Amino acid sequence: MSDVVMHVWRGDADGGQFEEYTVPKQDGEVVLDVIHRIQATEAPDLACRWNCKAGKCGSCSAEINGKPRLMCMTRIDTLPEGETITVTPMRAFPIIRDLVTDVSFNYEQARKVPAFNPPPRPEGGYRMSQVDVERGQEFRKCIECFMCQDVCHVIRDHEENKARYSGPRFFIRYAELEMHPLDTNDRRDLVREEMGLGMCNITKCCTEVCPEHIKITDNAIIPLKERVVDADYDPIAWLGRKILRRTKRTAEQAAVQPD
């Protein structure tokens, strides 16, 4: 059988370069297998993240031939035959070493999410219907591979936006909470003012790369944008609120972590 030629980015914050590795091809292998074989033979210190090797944990995100992919779910035989395969770390995050990046941006954004705060649990547990939980379940499939964050040009190409942009991974989280049947909060001003929802220009790259096939843009971001329109840009909705004496929550009120 033929060989696999792989160009792997090796380096750290002080710079790096591609190294070429050639390994014999094996049936049914994925990119991560090849990386592991390189580790076990030529380069024991080649850094990469992985855990489950089954597309469940979202650890092994990297860019394969320039596109964000899970290394453990990218079979070699699905890549163009006979061409070298380039493997680079996720571009949007600072490099730690080789294929490992510092994804703490995402954990910081996670801390900002105000937790779910339902009414007290009734005897025998909450009642919710399947149609209601299904909406949120789509978003809870997220394995936090952060590839949508990586591909999102808002931060991939504009570092300065990171300070005020939570990114698609967290837009689906806000959408999930907003669509929760027992939810009591109102995060519309929060996502507009603090989380940078308006910076997303719905170009859908997040949806394209999501390994869980979550319809991030159609089912989360656009519905959120529409909810923000209800809250802030629709004069009829504004009038309706005035007449019905409904109030909405400010970003600060919405951001409070419940006890």
User: What binding mask, one character per residue, do residues 182-211 give for ligand SF4 by CB under 6 A, x or -?
Assistant: ------------------xxxxxxx--xxx
User: Which two three-digit tokens encode residue 247?
Assistant: 């109030």
Among ligand FES, ligand SF4, another protein, none, the one that 104 touches (CB under a kind-dependent 5 to 8 A) is another protein
Q: Tell me how far the alpha carbon of residue 249 is from its chain's centroid.
A: 26
Give the alpha-carbon dihedral of 93, 167, 152, 211, to 10 degrees.
90
Both structure tokens of 105: 């941006």
Q: Between residue 56 and residue 75, which ones bind ligand SF4 under the rule CB under 6 A?
A: 58
Give the residue with the Cβ less far from ligand SF4, 6 or 224.
Answer: 224
Q: How far is the CB of 211 from ligand FES (least distance, A)?
A: 8
Residue 60 or 152: the one with the smaller Cβ distance to ligand FES is 60
Q: Is 241 among the residues that bind ligand SF4 (CB under 6 A)?
A: no
Task: Specify burial of residue 13 (Cβ count, 10 A radius: 0-12, 13-18, 19+).
Answer: exposed
Distance in Å, CB of 209 to ligand SF4, minimum: 6
CA neighbor of 195 nearest in space, from 174, 223, 218, 209: 174
Q: Which of 153, 124, 148, 163 is CA-nearest to residue 215?
A: 148
Which residue do the tokens 């035959």 mark?
81
Applying CB under 6 A, which residues contact ligand SF4?
Answer: 58, 142-148, 151-152, 154, 168-169, 172, 200-206, 209-212, 214, 216-217, 221
